[in-house]
Structure 1
Amino acid sequence: MSKSAKIHKRLSDALSITTLDVRNDSAKHHGHAGDDGSGESHFHVTLRSPDFAGKSRIARHRLVHKAMGAELVASIHALSLDLDV
């Protein structure tokens, strides 16, 4: 299973989601720092969830990282998050 699919599944399983888009941006960073050659090093996630209501930006990021799991987060060089209710 690709990292994009893992991210999508883990977030879908852990959070109430109204919108979820996982975009692999690794090709844009080919040859740059953090490019491990796997084609799965840089991701952008747009996520809308009522679970974020009343939570700070940091709390939302922590919730996403927890849902993804430490091993998946550690295997990604860059993770850009656009999170809202």
Structure 2
Amino acid sequence: MSSVEEIERLLTDALAPTELDVVDVSASCGSAFDVSIVSAKFTGVGRLQRHRMVHEALGDVMSRVHAMKIDAKAP
């Protein structure tokens, strides 16, 4: 099981977002999340690579997540 706080911490450490919203949409079982993130590190980066950057930032957490909807944007 993953927590919103764990995901927020990892994304903040890796991507220094100016905006970040993580919502557990799995009825609190920690297996599905909606992530909305805005980071300058996404500037000039395509959508697929932004998603890869989020996955890389989360590392092993992704093995415990069943589904994640990602909205990753540059400022």
Q: TM-score, normalised by structure 1?
A: 0.81
Structure index of larger Rg: 1
**Number of residue equivalences:** 73
Other structure's SS at 1:26 match:
coil
* Structure 2 residue corresponding to 1:51, chosen from 24, 41, 59: 41
Q: How much does 1:74 deviate? A: 1.0
* Residue in 2 that maps onto 1:67: 57
Q: Which runs of 4+ in 1 moved over 3 A?
A: none
Which amino acid is the alignment partner of residue 41 of structure 1? S
Query: How far apart are 1:66 and its partner, in Å?
Result: 0.7
Gaps of 5+ in 2: none
Shift of 1:49: 0.4
Structure 1 residue ranges without an equivalent (≥5): 28-37
SS of corresponding position for 2:69: strand
Output one character per residue of 1:17-69: Cα deviation in whole Å (capped at 9) or x when no partner: 11000000002xxxxxxxxxx71111000000010011011100111111111
Let me know the Cα RMSD of the aligned residues. 1.2
- Report % sequence identity: 41
1:32 alignment partner in structure 2 = none
Q: Give the equivalent residue in structure 1 for 2:24.
A: 24
TM-score by length of 2: 0.91
